[in-house]
Amino acid sequence: MGKLNNLLGIANNLADSFVSVTNLHFLKHMESLPVEKTKLFEIDLLKETIKPEDLMSKTVKDTIAQYKKWFLSEIDKFKISLNDIDKVIVKIAYKPGKSFARYYTCNTTITAKGKDYTKKVMSSYS
């Protein structure tokens, strides 16, 4: 198993963490924004951007920077060069539910040397 295969585990951990209760401050912030803008949003971790662009705020910027720092430490741990990574895209879909429940789907794709390492995680909390 090549070291780049470790990117699948990193993608899974990144997706899981983004929509977990440990990231509640970020999730609550996104829930406070207009639903039509936050139904589906996309974060480019390496470029530290979000689409739609007008979702960028201090909370979002800080969260992205924190996850980028974590990502860089993870690839370093597995001795994967940042030069091997083409992009890291995190797509999050949010759907408010009944009885105060919130539902999230996070799809994280790490592209390295032209190959995609993708994991999808579903999460909910109330």
pLDDT tens string, the chain, 126 residues long: the values are 578 999 999 999 999 999 998 898 998 898 888 888 888 999 999 999 999 999 999 999 999 999 999 999 999 999 999 999 999 999 999 887 666 667 889 999 999 999 999 999 998 876
User: 53 is in which domain, residue-wise?
Assistant: 3-125
Q: What is the pLDDT of residue 32?
A: 87
Instruction: Give the number of other Cβ atoms within 10 Å of residue 61's Cβ.
Output: 13
pLDDT of residue 99: 62
Asked if residues 50 and 67 have their Cβ atoms less than 8 Å apart, the reply is: no
Q: What is the pLDDT of residue 86?
A: 97
Per the CB < 8 A criterion, the answer to whether 103 and 95 are in contact is yes
In this structure, the number of other CB atoms found within 10 A of the CB of residue 23 comes to 20
Number of domains present in the structure of the chain: 1
